[in-house]
Amino acid sequence: MKLLVTGAAGGIGTRLRQMLPAIYKDIRWSDITKPADLAPGAEFVAADLAKMNEVEKMVAGVDAIIHLGGFSVEGPWETILQANIIGTYNLFEAAYRAGVKRVIFATSNHAVGMYPRDEKIGVNVTVRPDSRYGISKCFGESVGAFYADKHGMRVTCIRIGNFADTPIDKRRLSIFLHPEDLVQLLRIGLEHPQIKYEIFYGASDNAAAWWDNSNAHKFGYRPRHKAEDFRAEALAAQDKLPPDPIGDYFQGGAFSSAEYDADRRQS
C-alpha cells in the first residue's frame, strides 16, 4: 500500500513521521512547505490544498490517504474557507479521480463542541460545531460520506480529541488521545475490510469520557492509554487557568466560549 499523509509538518503529522514508517514502508508526506526535520530519503510533495492542480499531483499513485492537512484551530473565515473547506473538497475529489481506495479524515471534537459536558454523545448525533473550524470539520465529514456512499470510497472520520502524551487540564481528562491509540485507529481505517463510512472518536480509554466510542470498539479498537493515570497533574494544571464559565459548560472549551453571545441575543 502506498500511503499519503497530508499535514506532515503539523503536530500530529510530526509525531506520525516518527511512528508510521515502522508500520508502513511506502509513505509520501505532504504539506504546504517541507518540514525542516523531514527524515533523509523520505518522499515529500509540497501542495497547497486550495489549489486543485497541486492536490492532483500530491495524490497521484497512492492507494490510501491520511488527511491531517489544513488549518487546525479557529481562524478567520477566509483562512478556514481556503484550507479546510476548499482544501478538503479538493482532497476528496482528487482522490476519487485518482482511484484512491481509502481516506482517513482527521475531523475534530469541535464538530460537536456545543454539546454540554453532561451529555454523553455517540457518533450518530446531529453535529453542533463550536467554531468556523468546527463547521469545516462537519463539512469534511459530509464530503467523506458523499464519496463513500456515492462512489464507494472507504472513508473513516476520526473526531480527534486532544492529541498529547498526557492530558493537560480537566477538559482533556475527557478527550485525551495518546499517539499510540491514534495509530491504532488509523490502522483500523486503513486496513479493516468492513470499513465503508465510519466515524470514530479519537480518544483513549478515558474514565471521564463524554463520548460513546462503541463504534470504534466494534471495529476492534482497544485503547491502551488512560487519562485517569494523570488526573492529579491535570487538575493541578486546571487550577492555574482563569475561570471560563461558558467554556467549562460546553465540550469545546475555549472554542465554545470564544465569540459567544447567545445569552445576550436571546434576552
Smallest Cα–Cα separation from 32: which of 80, 70, 88?
70
Q: Are 262 and 241 in contact (CB under 8 A)?
A: no
Q: What residues pair up with 103 in beta bridges, in sequence order?
A: 65, 155
Binding part of the chain for ligand 15L, among 56-64, 94-102, 106-114, 195-203 by CB under 6 A, reads 106-114
**Angle, in degrees to the nearest 10, between helices 179-191 and 11-19:** 70
204 is a contact residue toward ligand 15L (CB under 6 A): no
CB 252, min distance to ligand 15L, A: 7
**Sequence-ordered strand ranges (E) for 1-153:** 3-6, 27-31, 43-46, 64-67, 102-108
Decide whether 202 or 223 has the Cβ nearer to ligand 15L: 202
Among 1, 19, 39, 73, binds ligand 15L (CB under 6 A): 73
Binding part of the chain for ligand 15L, among 105-113, 114-122, 141-149, 199-207 by CB under 6 A, reads 105-113
165 is a contact residue toward ligand 15L (CB under 6 A): no
Q: Are 252 and 262 in contact (CB under 8 A)?
A: no
Backbone φ, ψ for residue 26 (5° rounding): -120, 90
Decide whether 109 or 156 has the Cβ nearer to ligand 15L: 109
Instruction: List the grid coordinates of 233.
Output: 497533574
Q: Are 191 and 164 in contact (CB under 8 A)?
A: no
User: Of these residues, 89, 133, 147, 201, which one is catalytic?
Assistant: 133
Decide whether 154 or 172 has the Cβ nearer to ligand 15L: 172
| Residue list 9-38, contact with ligand 15L (CB under 6 A) | none
128 is a contact residue toward ligand 15L (CB under 6 A): no
Decide whether 106 or 148 has the Cβ nearer to ligand 15L: 106
131 is a contact residue toward ligand 15L (CB under 6 A): no
Active site residue 197: no
Residues 6+ apart with CB under 8 A from 154: 101, 102, 103, 148, 195, 196, 197
Decide whether 103 or 106 has the Cβ nearer to ligand 15L: 106
How far is residue 140's CA from residue 135's CA, in Å, rounded to a whole number?
9
CB 237, min distance to ligand 15L, A: 13
Residues 6+ apart with CB under 8 A from 82: 49, 50
Total residues in contact with ligand 15L, by rule CB under 6 A: 7
Decide whether 155 or 160 has the Cβ nearer to ligand 15L: 160
| Residue list 108-127, contact with ligand 15L (CB under 6 A) | 108-110
Among 6, 156, 162, 174, binds ligand 15L (CB under 6 A): 162
Among 13, 31, 49, 72, binds ligand 15L (CB under 6 A): 72
**Between the CA of residue 143 and those of 95, 100, 121, 216, 236, what are the distances in Å?**
12, 15, 22, 20, 40
Helix, strand or coil for residue 5? strand
Q: Which residues bind ligand 15L (CB under 6 A)?
A: 72-73, 108-110, 160, 162
Residues forming the active site: 133
